[in-house]
Amino acid sequence: MTTTLTLPMATLLSTPMTPVEAALVARGVVAGVAILVAALAPARRRNVLAGTACALLSAVGILVGALALAGGTGTVRIPMALPIPPVVLAPDRLGGLFILLVSVVGLLASIYAIGYAHGASASRTQWAALAVFLLGMQAVPAAADAVSFLFAWEIMAVASTVLVLADQARNPEARRAAIWYAVMTHLSFLLILAGFGVLVGATGSTSFDTLATADPTSAAASVAFALLALGFAAKSGLIPLHVWLPRAHPEAPSHASALMSAAMVKMGVYGLLLVTLRLLPGGPTWWAVLLVVLGGASALYGILEAAVATDVKRLLAYSTTENVGLIVLALGIALLLRGHGVPGAAAAALVACLLLVVSHAAFKATLFLGAGSVLHGTGERDLDRLGGLAREMPWTAGAFGVACMGAAALPVTAGFVAEWTLLQSLIHAVRPQERVVAVVIPLALGVIALTAGLALVTFVKVYGIAFLARPRSVGALAAHESPITMRVAMLGGALAVLALGLVPGPVAVVVADAAGVGGVWAVGLGGLELTGVDALLDPVALLALAAVVALPALALVVALARRLPARSNALAWGCGAARTSPRMQYTATSYAEPLMRVFDDALQPARDVEVTHVAESQYLAERVRYRQRVEDVVEVRLYRPLVAAADAVADRARRIQNGSIHRYLAFSFGALLIVLVVVAR
């Protein structure tokens, strides 16, 4: 039975509460405590106390998400001091899945931050912003109407902006990144506000239950979908609205970057699912095609930029654009197949979409936490200055390596299971008589294949350059392992990547229930069966088979190796000489150079060769310096001209502010006349 609980606290003792309502109330109380602890705790103990409070807030969020995901119901209304409707929280199964997801990532990030936060990121403001950020992300999927959704969305946006500004006092780049992020996140808010406004105008209510009565085939529904899709795409980091990602993620503290990339961008995905599955199901075909195009283009562009990036956090930010692109592509495929009478493949694509959401949260959180550990232990985040970290940072190397496998979608990881499910839906979606399906499905397969190949190259580069070979800088040479709380968080994320890959069946069943689709079963020791497309995956059985085949071969190789004569350790390709300098090995830039040349037209790198001649000789060179810079093509070609045009308009507008009181009075009189004319009509 569903009840309604209205705050303030005076009503709590006299009103019976469902478990979901009790958990929602407890979450609000714990959030208030976490903010107070962040504001009042002494600096010496602030990290431990505030981090523990944020971890407790995330733990309560896990409880809320689990209860809602299990089918629990309940409604909490929070009256507002302003003359606006109350905030209404009533999570359903889908919202419960996302609450659980962001809370698990929040728990890892909070534990990690206890050992990581220092300087500005350990201030009262930053810890309070982290607590508010966690609360906002948990509230978005719980919202039951448009007003509550937008209120929680803005709390999440403002708190995350404060986190990006952590280092702004000494790092001007952090201020610039925060400006870009603030502009894009509020553009997202305005687009979502406009989209909900169109739906409210068509239905007469802000409640999601009432908004769901709108006719999805009407013009108003299409306008609302376009506005909402663009708004959620901006928050998710889809191109061409992705430009805040490679700016904000590198400058935010690493635990905040993990939250933003692994959890916050999923709020945009949740918004798309909310619109297409609950509010406006059964829309026209072009909605699905739009999502497929946005997702496919974002996946290709994101992984291509990641493949040539050398800043590890910037690389991971572009990788997020790729991952979210695949998620949105899977959602578009599900909608397309559902609308063209392929229910089994459509259900598999929707399950793949949610599995991609879960897997990305696991490996991307671990990757950003690992990148923060590298920064903490070396002071470096440029891959060209790293190397040899596996020996000095074995815990970080192990967790980061597992996460790289997940990001590259290699077997026995969560990423592999999710992409396998998506491929199964595409393979079994043959409909030659449907022209749109016949064109979209092969193109989607090509996008996934190219993306998977580039992802493998990218994360081989990241791990090989950063953790193997020899140190390329003083910071890498003096690397040290991270504190215990950081290691615990990274290992927790890595274990999640492996667990989701080895036992995908139960997870797939849960996400299928959350999405309201069937045809998914857990088989064997946690294997996955897609009955709608007649496909079966049992990772444990495959792993056992691989071990049976590989172990005898490995034993034979070891036995033969012992019989061989002693070998020299000299490098054959070095003419018998050892590498005497770290400069005599690949860097991230040189590793990616073949890709740079192949995709030169798309990336458009800026190259500069400076030659210093010997004693004015045009034939003998004393020094040759080669510089290559890769800038975001979308930012350069789209946003910079827009910013320049806005600056030009602003400069011209200054001319009317000449200090003349007569001119200002004339402006006021003209505005008054316009208002009177409008009111008179």
310 neighbors 589 (Cβ within 8 angstroms):
yes
339 neighbors 282 (Cβ within 8 angstroms):
yes
> Does the pLDDT of residue 495 top 90, yes or no?
yes
- Report which of residues 81 and 12 the model is more confident about: 81
Query: Quick one: which H or E segment has residue 378?
Result: helix 343-378
Give the residue from 527, 197, 168, 514 showing the smallest Cα distance to 357: 514
Query: Quick one: which H or E segment has residue 523?
Result: strand 520-523
> Does the pLDDT of residue 232 top 90, yes or no?
yes
Residue 1 is predicted with a pLDDT of: 43
How confident is the model over 343-392, as pLDDT tens digits? 889 999 999 999 999 999 999 999 999 999 999 999 888 898 898 899 99
Task: Print the SS3 string covering 437-500.
Answer: HHHHHHHHHHHHHHHHHHHHHHHHHHHHHHHCCCCCCHHHHCCCCCCHHHHHHHHHHHHHHHHH
How confident is the model over 615-641, as pLDDT tens digits? 767 777 778 777 778 888 888 888 888
CA–CA distance, 395 with 392 (Å, rounded to integer): 9
* pTM summary value: 0.91
Residue 15 is predicted with a pLDDT of: 66
64 neighbors 142 (Cβ within 8 angstroms):
yes
**Phi-psi sector, 145: left (phi>0), alpha (psi -120 to 50), beta:** beta
Query: What are 626's strand-pairing partners?
Result: 609
Sequential DSSP letters for 229-264 = HHHHHHHHT-TTS-TTHHHHHHHS-HHHHHHIIIII
Q: What integer is the mean pLDDT of 651-667?
A: 77
The highest-confidence range among 95-109, 532-546, 591-605, by mean pLDDT, is 95-109
CB-based contacts of 637, cutoff 8 Å, min separation 6: none
Give the residue from 381, 233, 202, 402 showing the smallest Cα distance to 302: 233
> Does the pLDDT of residue 524 top 80, yes or no?
no
**Residue listed under structure tokens 């009177």:** 676
Query: What are 89's strand-pairing partners?
Result: 76, 143
Domain boundaries, the chain: 633-680
At position 203, the amino acid (one-letter code) is T
How confident is the model over 12-34, as pLDDT tens digits? 555 678 899 999 999 999 999 99
Cis amide leading into 240 (omega within 30): yes
Residue 102 is predicted with a pLDDT of: 95
174 neighbors 164 (Cβ within 8 angstroms):
yes
> Does the pLDDT of residue 270 top 80, yes or no?
yes
The pLDDT-based confidence of 584 (bands split at 50, 70, 90) is confident
Which letter, b or e, does each residue of 594-606 get, where b requires 16 or more Cβ atoms within 10 Å of its Cβ?
A: ebbeebeeebeee
246 neighbors 318 (Cβ within 8 angstroms):
yes
Residue 151 is predicted with a pLDDT of: 92
- Report which of residues 662 and 374 the model is more confident about: 374
Residue 127 is predicted with a pLDDT of: 94
The pLDDT-based confidence of 99 (bands split at 50, 70, 90) is very high
At position 383, the amino acid (one-letter code) is L
How confident is the model over 437-481, as pLDDT tens digits? 888 899 999 999 999 999 999 999 999 999 988 888 888 888 899
Average per-residue pLDDT in the chain? Answer: 88
CB-based contacts of 457, cutoff 8 Å, min separation 6: 307, 595
> Does the pLDDT of residue 6 top 60, yes or no?
no
Residue 523 is predicted with a pLDDT of: 82
Residue 27 is predicted with a pLDDT of: 92
CA–CA distance, 678 with 672 (Å, rounded to integer): 10
- Report which of residues 273 and 516 the model is more confident about: 273
Give the residue from 144, 516, 590 showing the smallest Cα distance to 343: 516
CA–CA distance, 145 with 143 (Å, rounded to integer): 6
* First vs last C-alpha separation in the chain: 50
Q: What integer is the mean pLDDT of 285-309?
A: 93
> Does the pLDDT of residue 574 top 70, yes or no?
no
CA–CA distance, 364 with 403 (Å, rounded to integer): 7
> Does the pLDDT of residue 275 top 70, yes or no?
yes
The highest-confidence range among 240-249, 488-497, 568-577, by mean pLDDT, is 488-497
CB-based contacts of 624, cutoff 8 Å, min separation 6: 609, 610, 611, 612
> Does the pLDDT of residue 681 top 70, yes or no?
no
The pLDDT-based confidence of 665 (bands split at 50, 70, 90) is confident
The pLDDT-based confidence of 577 (bands split at 50, 70, 90) is low
3-state secondary structure of 325: helix
How confident is the model over 174-209, as pLDDT tens digits? 889 899 999 999 999 999 999 999 999 999 888 999
Structure tokens at 229: 């899709």
How confident is the model over 172-181, as pLDDT tens digits? 888 898 999 9
> Does the pLDDT of residue 605 top 90, yes or no?
no
Residue 679 is predicted with a pLDDT of: 81
Residue 580 is predicted with a pLDDT of: 61
CA–CA distance, 339 with 280 (Å, rounded to integer): 13
How confident is the model over 107-142, as pLDDT tens digits? 999 999 999 988 877 889 999 999 999 999 999 999
**Residue listed under structure tokens 């995350």:** 160
